[in-house]
Structure 1
Amino acid sequence: MIRVERVGPLATIQDLGRPGWFDSGVGIAGAADRASLRLANRLVGNPEGAAGIEALFGGLELLAQRHLTVAVTGASAPATVDGRPVGAASVLEIEEGQRLRLGWALSGLRSYVAVRGGIDVPPVLGSRSRDTMSGIGPAPLRPGDVLPVGLPPRVHPIVDVAPVAAPLAGRLTIRVFPGPRDDWFANAPALYEGEWTVSSDTDRVGARLDRRTGPPLQRGISGELPTEGMALGSIQVPPSGQPVVFLADHPITGGYPVIGVVLDADVDAVAQARPGQPLRFRRVISATRA
């Protein structure tokens, strides 16, 4: 068992989501940075899709109520066990009564804590993920919550630390496929000119962007679109002209034109981008020619 002693701005339980429910109006949700959750789970010997904790900006404190094997990945939030600094992306053995603390992230936005056996809360529609848009899944964590831990898998951790880089703190270059509605814009190439910055109005639904340098996007067609499906990584442009890159809890339909779609391999990087961080889009034709 794990007792939650402190949370930062937001901490939720996440796995790799609940695919297969689009026809019922339910999105996939799951970890915003899928690669970081997968890595944390591999480090402790879990299946990649086991449920862990996603912590926004850090600020998380957990009390072990029995021996636990854990790993922390994602944003570079300094971690300590009973005040002793421990390495990022490393396997940690925490004894009963010890506290794992995450400080405030120095780069990146979301940290992931995996525990051997996984967080064993009841699944909803086959997933333990919290969907912040629909409210499906376990509630966001609060101090005093006690989280059950599942049975440890037969596979044992085989490394002590994974040599992975922290999320980039400078300008990001994000690869984008042309979208299905880029012809709705008089100057669609402007998406790839100059730089954008991540807005403070950003969450698990989407990374909202402000123009930093370069021309604003201008609609060439003034009509309204019928509601159509939205994919992870879709760059939707509302009337304000400020693009939104859809992330894990995105709506499954929408009525604003999609000017581009972020390459799946780059979605995790967008999910780790902090408010104020600059990014540039680069147009690609196919994943093999990115």
Structure 2
Amino acid sequence: MRIVRTGPLTVLKDGGRPGHAHLGVPVSGAVDRTAYARANALAGNPPGTAVLECTLGGLRVSFSEPAVAVLTGTDAVLVVDGVPAGVEEVVAIPAGVAVAVSMPKRGLRSYLAVRGGFDVPPVLGSRSTDRIAGVGPARPAVGDVLPVGDVLPIGPPAGLPAALVSSPVAEDGPLELDLGPRDDWFTAAAIAALLNAEFVVTPASDSVGLRLDGPELTRARTGELPSEGVVRGSVQVPPDGKPIIFQADHPVTGGYPVIAVLTPASADRAAQARPGARLRFTIAPA
């Protein structure tokens, strides 16, 4: 597959590289894990196959041989030789024609899966580009050629697992979270604000973290917190009181208290929040 145009941001992603945190290497991987898994399931690929993660569309490519591809994550569609496909439609693509990813009206990140996956060399067991650590394949550039892997004889699935069936764009409503592990560092008013106020995604957000604007989450304790391990979906609060939701390319450790952690499904939903989006939070059901 040849890259003709990259759009605002296109990177290679897969399931990530777990097991290296003790070396200071983050997991990384797809920012919206559910949309990524659904793309591979629809394309007939094994779990963990490398795809392209496209932010706000704009990607344009061509294939030297016939291919099968699908786009998930947003309401963007594949436009094959000028003809738009349906949302999340699995498309047979002739060799040599132009294939474009449209600009989504809702959502932020689309996942382009090609049957066979992208067979670039893995780094520490993963083909994910980690933007904070600089580990993994280079960001695709115009003129680059990405090899497509061998197609395994599994074919497209007759039906998706229930866990992968959802709307092309995540539903509205509060993001679910669990308080802790450092909620005791914050005042009761801060906890109430987190669970009742509205927060706005700022333009400084990226695959490392969603930076939010809203009421200041005030601390009940002063002093410094030693750096400790953090996970995707952690809601870290720096001294200015403005929360940051860690996304897929988050660092291994964080030195500010984590007031709460999003559920995995809500972390996927947060991955589709554009700058200017308004977010609310609620306690996850037991």
> Where does structure 1 differ by over 6 angstroms across 4 or more consecutive aligned residues?
160-163
**Which runs of 5 or more residues in structure 2 are unaligned?**
none
Partner of 1:166: 168
Q: Structure 1 pair 65/160, CA: closer, same or farther in 2 (3 Å)?
A: farther
Determine the structure 1 residue equivalent to 2:183.
Answer: 182
- Corresponding position of 1:274: 274
Q: Which residue of 2 aligns with 1:251?
A: 251
Describe how 1:91-110 pairs up with structure 2 within 5 A. Answer: 91-110=90-109
Matched residues in 2 for 1:138 and 1:216: separation? 38
Amino acid at match of 2:167: A
CA separation of 1:21 and 1:81: change in aligned 2, threshold 3 A: same
RMSD: 1.7
User: 2:15 — aligned with what?
Assistant: 16
**Where do residues 1-290 of structure 1 align in structure 2 (5 Å cutoff)?**
2-158=1-157, 164-168=166-170, 172-186=173-187, 187=189, 188-211=191-214, 215-284=215-284, 289-290=285-286
Q: Report the Cα offset of residue 160 of structure 1.
A: 9.9
How far did residue 78 of structure 1 move?
3.3
CA deviations 1:124-174 (Å, max 9, x no partner) are 0000000000000011111111000000011011459997423248x5410
Q: Structure 2: how far apart are the matches of 1:148 and 1:30?
A: 19
What SS does the corresponding residue of 1:27 show, helix, strand or coil? coil
CA offset digits 1:77-114 (Å, max 9, x no partner) = 23210100101211110011012101211110100000
CA contact (8 A) 1:90 1:160 kept: no
Letter aligned with residue 20 of structure 1: G
Cα contact 1:107–1:166 (8 A) shared by 2 = no
Q: Would the aligned equivalents of 1:41 and 1:48 in 2 still touch at CA under 8 Å?
A: yes
CA drift at 1:246 = 0.5
Q: For residue 176 of structure 1, what is the amino acid of its counterpart?
A: L
Cα-to-partner distance string for 1:246-269 (whole Å, 9 max, x where unaligned): 010001101100000001121100
Deviation at 1:23, TM superposition (A): 0.8
Asked if the contact 2:77–2:88 (Cα under 8 Å) also holds between the matched residues in 1, the reply is: no
Q: Relative to 1, partners in 2 of residues 1:168 and 1:18: Cα closer, same or farther, differing over 3 Å?
A: closer
Q: How many residues are paired up?
A: 281
- Of the structure 1 ranges 181-190 and 29-38, higher mean CA displacement relative to structure 2 is found in 181-190
Alpha-carbon shift at residue 49 of structure 1 (Å)? 0.9
Q: Which of the pair is proportionally richer in strand?
A: 1
The SS at the match of 2:112 is strand
State the identity %.
47
Alpha-carbon distance in structure 2 between the residues aligned to 1:94 and 1:100: 8
TM-score, normalised to structure 2, is 0.94
